[in-house]
Amino acid sequence: MILEISRQLRRLTEFAGKVAASESGVRLEDTDRQDEIGVLTRNLNEMAENVDVNLESRKQEAERQRQQKETLEQEIVQLIDDLQGAVDGDLTVRASLSSLEMSTVADLFNAVIDSLKDIAVQVKESSTQVSFALGENEESIQLLAQQALQEAEETHKTLGSVQQMSLSIEEVATNANQAATLADDAYQETQEGSSAMDATVNSILNVRTTVGETAKKMKRLGESSQKISQVVSLIEEIALKTNLLAINASVEASRAGEQGQGFTVVAEQVGALAEQSAAATKEIAKIVAAIQSETQEVTQAMELGTSQVVDTTRLVESTKQRLGQVLERSRSINELMKLISQSTVSQADTSRTVTNLIQQIAKQSEARLNSSQQIAQSMQATAQVAQQLESAVEQFKVAE
Q: Average pLDDT, stretch 106-128?
A: 72
pLDDT at 48 (0 to 100): 77
Residue 158's pLDDT band, with cuts at 50, 70 and 90, is confident
Nearest to 149 by CA among 372, 388, 398: 372
What average pLDDT does the structure give for the chain?
72
CA distance 207 to 190: 25
Share of the chain above pLDDT 70, in %: 62
Nearest to 280 by CA among 246, 244, 243, 251: 243
pLDDT at 333 (0 to 100): 76
pLDDT at 30 (0 to 100): 64
pLDDT digits (tens, 9 = 90+) for 194-247: 677 677 767 777 766 776 777 677 677 667 767 777 776 777 777 777 777 767
> Does residue 90 come out as left (phi exceeding 0), alpha (psi in the -120 to 50 range) or beta?
beta
pLDDT digits (tens, 9 = 90+) for 28-57: 776 677 767 777 777 777 877 787 778 778
* The length of the chain, given as a count of residues: 400
CA distance 163 to 362: 13
> Does residue 257 come out as left (phi exceeding 0), alpha (psi in the -120 to 50 range) or beta?
left
pLDDT at 55 (0 to 100): 77
Q: In the 8-state DSSP scheme, what is residue 25?
A: S
Residue 119, pLDDT above cutoff 80: no
Residue 98, pLDDT above cutoff 60: no
pLDDT at 101 (0 to 100): 57
Residue 189, pLDDT above cutoff 70: yes
HSE-up of residue 166 (Cα within 13 Å, Cβ side): 17
Q: In the 8-state DSSP scheme, what is residue 89?
A: T
Nearest to 191 by CA among 328, 44, 99, 7: 328
pLDDT digits (tens, 9 = 90+) for 166-184: 777 777 668 767 777 876 7
Dihedral sign for Cα 133, 138, 144, 149, please: positive
Residue 69, pLDDT above cutoff 70: yes
365: number of Cβ within 10 Å: 21
Contacts for 17 with CB less than 8 Å, ≥ 6 apart:
none
CA distance 178 to 172: 10
pLDDT at 398 (0 to 100): 58
Superfamily for domain range 125-222+302-394:
Methyl-accepting chemotaxis protein (1.10.287.950)
Residue 4, pLDDT above cutoff 70: no
Nearest to 390 by CA among 125, 135, 24: 125
Assess contact for 210 and 361: CB atoms under 8 A. no
| Helix or strand (DSSP H, E) at 314 | helix 261-394
Assess contact for 230 and 283: CB atoms under 8 A. no
Sorted by where each begins, the domain ranges of the chain are: 2-87, 125-222+302-394
Nearest to 300 by CA among 219, 225, 227: 219
| 3-state SS, residue 116 | helix
Residue 100, pLDDT above cutoff 60: no
Residue 124, pLDDT above cutoff 60: yes
The region of weakest confidence among 20-24, 50-54, 96-100 is: 96-100
Assess contact for 99 and 72: CB atoms under 8 A. yes
Contacts for 268 with CB less than 8 Å, ≥ 6 apart:
246, 250
